[in-house]
Amino acid sequence: MKTRRTRSQERILSKLKTLRRSLSAQDLYMEMRKNDQAMGLATIYRSLDALKKEGLVHVRLLGTGESVYSLVQEDEHYLTCVECGYSIVIDECPVHHLEATLQQSHNFKIYYHTLEFFGLCDRCANNSQS
C-alpha cells in the first residue's frame, strides 16, 4: 500500500532532490523560506520523521551532534572528524554482503545503511600537535 504524503512532505522531498546534499532541519527551514515556501520548523521535523519512516529520507548524526537529512539514493559511508565535523565520503562499501545476509536471516527489509568512522582530519590533527 502506498503511503499518502502531505503537501509539506512532497515539498521537502522536492527540495532535497533539487539540493542533492545533506541538510539540517534548520538549514532546510531557511532554504524553504528563501524560496517562498515557508513552513514551520515543527512541520519540517514531523515531515522529515515521516519520510524517514517511509524509507525515503535518512538522518545522519554529525560529530558536532547536529542531525542532517538527505534522500535515500544509495548507502553512504563516511570518515568524520570529531573536532571540526568535516566528513569525507567513502565510495566503497565493505558491508553489502552482511546487509544481504541480515535481511534474509532476520526477515527484515533494510532501506539503507550508513557506515561512519570517527577520528581527526589532517588539519585538526596538525593543529592539535602544534
The pLDDT tens digits of the residues spanning 38-84 come to 889 999 999 999 999 888 898 888 777 889 898 887 667 888 888 88
Identify the band that residue 1 occupies on the pLDDT scale cut at 50, 70 and 90.
very low
Phi-psi sector, 40: left (phi>0), alpha (psi -120 to 50), beta:
beta
Q: Is 104 helix (H, G, I), strand (E, B) or coil?
A: helix
Q: Where are the alpha helices (DSSP H) in 5-121?
A: 7-19, 25-34, 41-53, 96-105
Identify the band that residue 2 occupies on the pLDDT scale cut at 50, 70 and 90.
low
Which residues does 79 contact at the CB level (< 8 Å), separation at least 6?
87, 88, 90, 116, 117, 119, 121
User: The pTM is what?
Assistant: 0.63
